[in-house]
Amino acid sequence: MYSRALFLTALAASLSFVTSDPDDVCYSYGVDFVDEGSYFINSKSTEKFTAVSYFRGCKDDIADILFVAPDDIEYLCSQVPTVPENDNKVSTCPIQKNQMTSGHWLLLVLGNNGDEGQPFAWQRGEQENTDYIFLC
């Protein structure tokens, strides 16, 4: 079950080690989802799933966002620009929240960091919480 997910994670992580100059690495930071966290997704919501990231040290490029379900179904989410720095970028995925199930989901941020740059290095940022009150 986790074999493809493990492969994709290892591939994304290994791309960050291909760099010769550590100052030439593009860093992506997750804002609303942090590695191995547990999250509440409103199963009654028909909104599409979204994720927020910001970037540092990147060349002007576009990041591809891949969302992988526990059953290895892959969703190619909307691309996000890597500049300006420290600016939150929202990616929307083609799955509604009420279509999601409990399990181990992967959110991968992939890119080349421009024509001359090095691949992205993914870092987990501090989670920012927003409280929602659901009234039934």
pLDDT for 67-95, tens place per residue?
Answer: 999 999 999 999 999 999 999 999 999 99
pLDDT tens digits, one per residue of 11-29: 444 444 444 455 668 888 8
Looking at residue 119, its pLDDT comes to 57
Q: Are 80 and 92 in contact (CB under 8 A)?
A: no
Q: Give pLDDT tens digits for 91-115.
A: 999 999 999 998 889 989 888 777 6
Q: Residue 133 pLDDT more than 60? A: no
Q: How confident is the model at residue 135 (pLDDT cuts 50, 70, 90)?
A: very low
Least confidently predicted of 28-37, 54-63, 86-95, 113-122 = 113-122
What are the chain's domains? 3-124 (2.60.40)
Dump strand ranges (E) for 1-136. Answer: 26-30, 48-56, 62-68, 74-76, 80-81, 89-96, 106-110, 120-124
Burial of 7 (0-12, 13-18, 19+ CB in 10 A): exposed
Q: How far apart are CA 49 and CA 69, in angstroms?
A: 12
Q: Which of helix, strand or coil describes residue 65?
A: strand
Both tokens of 108, joined, read 């991968």
